[in-house]
Amino acid sequence: MYWNVWYTEQSILSFLLSQTYPTETLSQKEIVAGEAIKQIESNQTLRGRVISVINAMVIEALKEAIDHPVANILCRGLEQWRESK
Protein backbone atom coordinates (compact mmCIF):
# COMPACT_ATOMS: atom_id res chain seq x y z
CA MET A 1 0.00 0.00 0.00
CA TYR A 2 1.11 3.52 -0.71
CA TRP A 3 0.06 4.78 2.72
CA ASN A 4 3.52 5.50 4.15
CA VAL A 5 4.76 7.21 1.00
CA TRP A 6 1.54 9.19 0.56
CA TYR A 7 1.42 10.21 4.21
CA THR A 8 5.01 11.42 4.05
CA GLU A 9 4.41 13.39 0.86
CA GLN A 10 1.15 14.80 2.19
CA SER A 11 2.76 15.83 5.46
CA ILE A 12 5.55 17.61 3.63
CA LEU A 13 3.10 19.26 1.25
CA SER A 14 0.91 20.44 4.13
CA PHE A 15 3.92 21.73 6.01
CA LEU A 16 5.22 23.63 3.00
CA LEU A 17 1.83 25.13 2.24
CA SER A 18 1.38 26.19 5.84
CA GLN A 19 4.70 28.00 5.60
CA THR A 20 3.39 29.95 2.61
CA TYR A 21 -0.16 30.42 3.81
CA PRO A 22 -1.39 31.08 7.35
CA THR A 23 -3.82 28.53 8.83
CA GLU A 24 -5.34 30.44 11.72
CA THR A 25 -8.86 30.98 10.34
CA LEU A 26 -11.30 28.72 8.54
CA SER A 27 -10.94 30.64 5.30
CA GLN A 28 -7.13 30.40 5.51
CA LYS A 29 -7.40 26.64 6.07
CA GLU A 30 -9.69 26.37 3.03
CA ILE A 31 -7.08 28.14 0.93
CA VAL A 32 -4.36 25.72 2.07
CA ALA A 33 -6.62 22.71 1.42
CA GLY A 34 -7.41 24.06 -2.04
CA GLU A 35 -3.74 24.52 -2.81
CA ALA A 36 -2.99 20.99 -1.61
CA ILE A 37 -5.68 19.61 -3.91
CA LYS A 38 -4.21 21.61 -6.80
CA GLN A 39 -0.82 20.05 -6.07
CA ILE A 40 -2.38 16.57 -5.98
CA GLU A 41 -4.20 17.17 -9.27
CA SER A 42 -1.02 18.34 -10.97
CA ASN A 43 1.03 15.29 -9.92
CA GLN A 44 -0.22 12.11 -11.61
CA THR A 45 1.73 9.78 -9.32
CA LEU A 46 0.54 11.51 -6.17
CA ARG A 47 -3.01 11.65 -7.53
CA GLY A 48 -2.98 7.87 -8.03
CA ARG A 49 -1.68 7.33 -4.52
CA VAL A 50 -4.30 9.62 -3.04
CA ILE A 51 -7.08 7.79 -4.87
CA SER A 52 -5.72 4.43 -3.67
CA VAL A 53 -5.56 5.62 -0.08
CA ILE A 54 -9.03 7.17 -0.16
CA ASN A 55 -10.52 4.03 -1.68
CA ALA A 56 -8.78 1.78 0.86
CA MET A 57 -9.46 3.81 3.99
CA VAL A 58 -12.41 5.25 5.78
CA ILE A 59 -12.13 9.01 5.35
CA GLU A 60 -12.36 9.48 9.13
CA ALA A 61 -9.20 7.42 9.59
CA LEU A 62 -7.48 9.54 6.98
CA LYS A 63 -8.47 12.73 8.82
CA GLU A 64 -6.94 11.37 12.01
CA ALA A 65 -3.78 10.27 10.23
CA ILE A 66 -3.04 13.69 8.73
CA ASP A 67 -1.56 15.71 11.54
CA HIS A 68 -2.31 19.18 10.24
CA PRO A 69 -4.86 21.92 11.03
CA VAL A 70 -6.40 21.64 7.57
CA ALA A 71 -7.00 17.86 7.73
CA ASN A 72 -10.79 18.05 8.01
CA ILE A 73 -11.15 20.57 5.22
CA LEU A 74 -8.63 18.78 3.03
CA CYS A 75 -10.34 15.40 3.47
CA ARG A 76 -13.74 16.92 2.72
CA GLY A 77 -12.27 18.43 -0.43
CA LEU A 78 -10.61 15.14 -1.38
CA GLU A 79 -13.94 13.33 -0.99
CA GLN A 80 -15.63 15.81 -3.31
CA TRP A 81 -12.70 15.64 -5.72
CA ARG A 82 -12.83 11.83 -5.78
CA GLU A 83 -16.58 11.86 -6.42
CA SER A 84 -16.11 14.23 -9.36
CA LYS A 85 -13.53 11.96 -11.03
Where does the pLDDT of residue 9 fall: very low under 50, low under 70, confident under 90, or very high at 90 and above? low
pLDDT digits (tens, 9 = 90+) for 24-68: 899 998 888 888 888 888 888 877 777 777 777 767 777 777 777
User: Would you list the DSSP string of 15-77?
Assistant: HHHHHHS--SSHHHHHHHHHHHHHHHHH-HHHHHHHHHHHHHS-HHHHHHHS-STTHHHHHHH
